[in-house]
Amino acid sequence: MRIILYTGKGGVGKTSISAATGLELARRGYKTLVMSVDPAHSLSDAFDLDKALMDHEAGKLVEVTKNLWIQEVDVQEEIARHWDSVYAYVSALLNISGLEKTLSEELAIFPGMEEVSSLLYVNQYFREKSFDVMLLDCAPTGESLRFISIPTTLEWYMSKIFKLERRVARMVRPMIQTFTGLPIPQEDYFENLQALHRKLAGIDKLMADPRVTTVRLVTNPEKVVLKETQRAFTYFCLYGLTIDAVIVNRILPAEVRDDFFSAWKVTQEKWVQSVEEFFAPVPVWRVPLFQDEVLGVDRLKRLGRALYGSRDPARQFFAEAPYRFRKVGGNYELHLRLPFVSSEEVNLYKKLDELIIRVGTLKRHVSLPQRMAHCEPLNARIKEGELIVTLGRNHAQRETKSQAAPPP
C-alpha cells in the first residue's frame, strides 16, 4: 500500500491536485481513497458532488467513480465514536470557568481531534488493506505539521506523562471535587485515551517509512508561496518524512501571448527555475494554468493527464533516509537533512536518551540508539543542506556554541 500526502500553502490548488491524482490512479486500476484531513473540507466541492448527498454521508466513504472513494472526516461524528469522555471532560471544565454551556461545547472541540481521527482511519485502512493507495489532502502547511507530529507527541505523552497523571487524578479527585467543585478526569477519560493510543499503535513508523509514505508539496511560482514551500520542506525533513516530488501549479502556458501577462510569464519562469535549483534532486513537476476553474470529474481528469502524463502516480519518485547515524573515530554523527537552514537557526540539547532539535518554533525528538544513549552532543554544523551533530562521551565539551539551553 502507498500513502501520499499533498500539502502546501493555502490556495495553491492541493485539493484539485489530490482529486486529479485519485482519478488518474483509479483509471490505472488502483483501488484508491482520497481523504480530506483539512478541517475546512473542499474535496467534495472539487468533484462538484451534490451537497445533499455529502451532508447525508457526512464522514463516510463515498464512491465517486470506479475504484475511487473520497472521505471528509466529520469531527462531530468522530467525537461520538472516539472522543466521548475526553470531550465531556473538557466541556465541563470550560463550563465551570464561566463560559455559557453552548459555547463551552463548541470550544471543547480542541485542535488535534480531527487530525487524530484521520490518523485512526489511516491506520485502520492500512491494517485491513482496504485500498491500494491512500491520498491525504492535507490542511495548509502549519496544520499539516501538527497532523504529522501528533503520533510522536501522543507517544511521548503516553510514555512520560499519562501514568503519572492518572495516579495523581485518582489520589486528588475526592478532595478536589469536594472542596472546589472543579471536575477532575474520571477513569473513563483515561481509558478513552488508552484506547485511542492502542488504535494508533504503529502509525508513527508507518508515516516515517518512505517505502509506504511520501509527501508531495504543491506550490505556485510566486516568491511568497515558494518561501513557505521551502519552510515546509525543512520541517517535513525534520519530522522524518520523505518528499518525493514538488508540484508547481498554475503556470501560464506558452500559448498565452497577451502583453498584459508578459511580465507575469517572465516572473513565473524565474521562480520555476529557482524551485528546480532549490529542491534538486527531488523531482519538480510543472502544471499549467487552465482556462477555467478545475471543477468536476472531466476537468480533474484533464489535470491528472497534464500532471502525470505517462508517469504512474503510485510510484515513489525520490527516496532518501530523513536522518542517519554513522560512527566516526570514537564518536557518532547524526546526519539530518535540513536544507534552507543556517547554523544560527538550530538549537539542540539532549534529555535522557533523546536528542531534541529545535528549528524556529518546531521541535523534533530523535530517539538515540542504545549504544549512543549516554553520549552528549559535542558540536553541530550545517554542511551541504545537512545538519551534522557529533555525539560522544567527552563531558568536558558539553557546552558548545551549537548547544542551546532547553526552550521554555
CB burial of 251-268 (b: ≥16 within 10 Å; e: otherwise) equals: bbeeeeeeeeeeeebeeb
Which of 320, 344, 367 terminates a domain? The answer is 320
Q: CA 123, 125, 128, 134 torsion: positive or negative? A: negative
Looking at the structure, do residues 117 and 139 belong to the same domain, yes or no? Answer: yes
Looking at the structure, do residues 247 and 167 belong to the same domain, yes or no? Answer: yes
Looking at the structure, do residues 232 and 212 belong to the same domain, yes or no? Answer: yes
- CATH number of the domain bearing residue 199: 3.40.50.300
- Give the chain's mean pLDDT: 86
Closest CA to 217 of 271, 290, 283, 151: 283
The reply to whether 405 falls in a domain is: no
Provide the grid cell at 73: 472526516
Looking at the structure, do residues 316 and 328 belong to the same domain, yes or no? Answer: no
The reply to whether 404 falls in a domain is: no
Predicted model pTM: 0.80
Domain carrying residue 387: 323-397
Q: DSSP alpha helices (H): ranges in 97-162?
A: 101-107, 113-128, 141-157
The reply to whether 403 falls in a domain is: no
Q: What is the pLDDT of residues 250-280, one digit of tens each?
A: 999 989 989 999 999 999 999 999 999 888 8
Residue count (the chain): 408
47 band by pLDDT with thresholds 50, 70 and 90: very high
Closest CA to 308 of 23, 2, 5, 8: 23
Q: How far apart are CA 382 and CA 327, in angstroms?
A: 18
The reply to whether 5 falls in a domain is: yes
Looking at the structure, do residues 211 and 333 belong to the same domain, yes or no? Answer: no
pLDDT of residue 178: 62
Strands 62-65 and 68-72, by their bridges, are antiparallel
Q: How far apart are CA 202 and CA 368, in angstroms?
A: 19
> Of the spans 82-91, 133-142, 149-158, 353-362, which averages the highest pLDDT?
133-142
Which of 255, 290, 320 terminates a domain? The answer is 320
Q: What is the pLDDT of residues 361-406, one digit of tens each?
A: 777 778 788 788 889 999 899 998 889 999 998 654 444 444 444 5
Looking at the structure, do residues 296 and 348 belong to the same domain, yes or no? Answer: no
The reply to whether 262 falls in a domain is: yes
Which of 279, 294, 320 terminates a domain? The answer is 320
Question: Total structural domains in the chain?
Answer: 2
Q: DSSP alpha helices (H): ranges in 158-308?
A: 163-180, 187-199, 203-208, 223-238, 262-279, 297-308
Q: Which helix (H) or strand (E) holds 26?
A: helix 14-27
The reply to whether 182 falls in a domain is: yes
Looking at the structure, do residues 312 and 329 belong to the same domain, yes or no? Answer: no
